[in-house]
Structure 1
Amino acid sequence: MSTVVLVTGGSGLVGKAIEHVINTEPESSRFGKRPGEKWVFANSTEGDLKDPVQTEKLFEKYKPTHVIHLAALVGGLFKNMKYKLTFLRDNTLINDNVLHFSHTKNVQKVISCLSTCVFPDKVTYPLDETKIHDGPPHESNFGYANAKRMVDVMNHAYKEEFGCNFTSAIPTNVFGPHDNFDLEDSHVIPGLIHKCYRAKQNNTPFAVSGTGKPLRQFIFSYDLARLFIWMLREYDDVEPVILSVGEEEEVSIKSVADKIVKTVGFQGEYKFDSTKADGQFRKPASNKRLLTLMSQNKNEQQFKFTPFDEALEYTVKWFVENYNKGARIGKVA
Structure 2
Amino acid sequence: MTTTPQTVLRFLAGAAVAAGVLFIVWYFSAIVGYILVSAVLAVIGRPLVGRLAALHAGKWRVPRPLAALVTLIVIWTVAAVLCSLFVPLVFNKINQLAEVDFGAVFNSIGEPIARAQHRVQELFALSESSFSLSEELSSALPRLLDLDSLNTLFSSIIGMLFSSVIAIFSISFITFFFLKEDDLFYTMVTAVFPERYRDNITRALDSVTLLLGRYFTGILAESLLLMIAVSLAMMAFGMPGADACFIGLVMGVMNVVPYAGPLIGGVISVFVGIVTPIEGTTVGHTASIIVFTLLAIKGMDDFVLQPSLYSERVKAHPLEIFLVILVAGSLAGIWGMLLAIPSYTVLRVFAKEFFSQFALVRRLTEKI
The alignment's TM-score, normalised by the length of structure 2, stands at 0.24
The alignment's TM-score, normalised by the length of structure 1, stands at 0.26
Larger Rg, first or second structure (1 or 2): 2
Name the one with the larger helix percent.
Answer: 2
With CA pairs under 8 Å and 6+ residues apart, which has the higher RCO, 1 or 2? 1
Name the one with the larger strand percent.
Answer: 1
